[in-house]
Amino acid sequence: MMFFRVPLLVQLLFSRRVWKGENRNAVYLTFDDGPDQLTTPWVLDLLKKENIKATFFCVGKNMTKYPDIFQSILDDGHAIGNHTYAHEKGIRTSIDSYLQALNKTDEIHHSSLFRPPYGRINLKQVKKIKALGKKIIMWTWNAQDYKKNMNPNTIISNAKRIKGTDILLFHNSIKSKRNMMESLPSVIRIVKQKNLSFQRLS
């Protein structure tokens, strides 16, 4: 079964993480895993056309690999979040190694926003990361664009359930390329039809 919305119980159980934005009249569009040479320029062009500011949770290794594309994200006025250096999975990585990945990415571009890859970290990692002054940003609506068996029309259909304060999760990566590109324009249209604005996270 595909859960596009994160159950409220999960949000309550992990209340030390940020699940929603503050503005009831806005949603918060976010992208994980970039920058990527095939998808990120396309996303930036679409966002510019739609006059939307978003938040990009960037992998440090990709920031180093595609510095010009990363700079384009900054130049367009989007917010940046830390997504570790090599997409490390928290539950399979020691605390020391995990924090080193965060710090290495912060050396490229410092951000107070952090999103754990796969959304998976343990309680000790949460404590250490928050001690660094970072907000651990999750999401309330997940496009699941990374799934091979996902149909873009299913993503679009479930966008009708998006509401104010929602943090929307998409990916700008090769893995999610088809689903993201075929669904994102329609999702943006649906959100605008709800008279909701798009804001960056801060």
Instruction: With a cut of 60, say whether residue 60 has pLDDT above it.
Output: yes
**Structure tokens, 122:** 């343990």
pLDDT of residue 170: 98
Residue 25: CB atoms within 10 Å: 11
- Residue pair 201/28 in contact (Cβ under 8 Å)? The answer is yes
pLDDT of residue 2: 60
pLDDT of residue 3: 78
The three-state secondary structure class of 33 is coil
Q: What is the mean pLDDT of residues 61-87?
A: 98
Average pLDDT, the chain: 96
pLDDT in tens, 135-189: 999 999 999 999 999 999 999 999 999 999 999 999 999 999 999 999 999 999 9
Residue 195: CB atoms within 10 Å: 8
Q: What is the mean pLDDT of residues 118-126?
A: 93
Q: Which helix (H) or strand (E) holds 99?
A: helix 95-108
Specify the length of the chain in residues: 202
Where does the pLDDT of residue 1 fall: very low under 50, low under 70, confident under 90, or very high at 90 and above? very low
Q: What is the pTM of this model?
A: 0.96
Domain spans of the chain? 8-198
How distant is the alpha carbon of residue 202 from its chain centre?
13
pLDDT in tens, 72-82: 999 999 999 99
Q: What is the mean pLDDT of residues 6-11?
A: 94
DSSP collapsed to 3 states, 60-82: HHHHHHCHHHHHHHHHCCCEEEE
Where does the pLDDT of residue 91 fall: very low under 50, low under 70, confident under 90, or very high at 90 and above? confident
Q: Pick 8-198's CATH classification: 1.10.275.10, 3.40.50.300, 3.20.20.370, 3.40.190.10.
A: 3.20.20.370
In the chain, the amino acid numbered 75 is D
Where does the pLDDT of residue 92 fall: very low under 50, low under 70, confident under 90, or very high at 90 and above? confident
Q: Please state, in angstroms and as integers, the Cα–Cα distance from residue 37 to each residue in 20, 33, 149, following that order.
A: 29, 12, 24
